[in-house]
Amino acid sequence: MNIVVCVKHVPETAEAEIKIDPSEKSIEKTSLVYDINEWDDYALEEAIQIKERLGGTVTAITVGPKEADSTLRKCLARGADAAVRITDPKFENSDCFATAKILNRAMKDLAFHLVLTGALADDDGCTATGPILAELLGVNHATMVRKIELNGDVAKVNRELEGGLEEVVEVNLPAVLSVQTGINEPRYVSIMGIRKAMQREIKVLGSAEIGLDDDEVGQEGSWVRIEKMYLPPVEKQAEFLKGTPEEIAAKIGEMLKTRGLL
């Protein structure tokens, strides 16, 4: 079972103070810490667990600058057999469609049975890269996957739906599956694994190697363009009520009456 895992090198913004850069089309990234996208972390772990059960190989692939090598080395340290980084200044501002085109061309010489991606990109909130990649590759796909059972050339997967529901579908391989968090428990990276990963080769491809024209990538090759990015203004502030439970309950009741809700 040969598996390709698409990973993304993203800034950790959950506890950081976010500032908009002068272009108003991105955020200030100089002081941010980068790591593997959370959803891709689960996809990588799932690929490694499948390899441990069924054999085969795991190849981690990303689109990004040289700094993204740290994410690929984490993949190698966790158990990936090979790593590929696709990079070119022309790829800047590529949306999910342009990114899927880049991944598709880079995977043309890779023999795979399964492609795993994260269901969501933590930096831009995109969920479409996996399905678009599947269409470009001409293979089946499923999204929001919470469980994978492989039987020959068929993958039986549980998909998360709205309202806490799940559906079970069968997907013929080869296929692209977009993985949801909670499908497994990602393992820690050992010190020995990190040391060994630092000595491993990362294959680097540019636009010339994958054969994409300038107008197929970056902003020119994208369907979605960012016009302006801004922090939402604070319009209201929380009011903290003090007193005994009875006093607080009375205040809440009075507030609801004032607003016409009682």
Residue 163 DSSP class: G
Cβ(113)–Cβ(2) below 8 Å? yes
Measure CA of the first residue to CA of the last residue in the chain; give whole Å.
62
> Would 182 be classed as within a structural domain?
yes
Distances in whole angstroms, Cα of residue 240 to Cα of each of 233, 250, 251, 259? 21, 14, 11, 17
Strand-pairing partners, residue 36, are: 9
Q: Which residue has the tokens 């039987």?
A: 151
pLDDT at 101 over 90: yes
H or E element: which one contains 134? helix 129-137
What percentage of the chain exceeds 90 in pLDDT? Answer: 62
Domain membership of residue 222 (yes or no) is no
Does 160 reside within a domain? yes
pLDDT at 27: 83
- Average pLDDT estimate for 58-76: 95
Q: Cα–Cα–Cα angle for 8, 215, 114, nearest 5°?
A: 40
pLDDT of residue 105: 93
Structure confidence at residue 175 as a pLDDT band (50, 70, 90): very high
Structural domain total, the chain: 1
Average pLDDT, the chain: 91
Q: Does residue 70 lie within any of the structural domains?
A: yes
Q: Answer whether residue 157 is part of any domain.
A: yes
Mean pLDDT (whole number) for 88-111:
91
Handedness of CA 93, 99, 103, 104 (dihedral sign): negative
Residue entry with tokens 């529901």:
165
Does 260 reside within a domain? no
Q: What is the pLDDT of residues 127-161, one digit of tens each?
A: 999 999 999 999 999 999 999 999 999 999 999 99
pLDDT-derived band at 230 (thresholds 50, 70, 90) equals confident
**Residue 77's pLDDT is what?**
94
Q: Note the pLDDT of residue 118.
A: 95
pLDDT of residue 149: 96
Query: What's 119's domain CATH number?
Result: 3.40.50.620
62 or 212, which is more confident? 62
| Parent domain of 108 | 2-216
Asked if residue 247 belongs to a domain, the reply is no
Q: What is the pLDDT of residue 203?
A: 94
For 34-60, the pLDDT digits (tens) are: 999 999 999 999 999 999 999 999 999
With respect to residue 58, please indicate whether it lies within any of the assigned structural domains. yes
pLDDT tens per residue, range 176-198: 999 999 999 999 888 888 888 99
Q: Is the pLDDT at 98 greater than 80, yes or no?
A: yes
What pLDDT score does 64 carry? 92
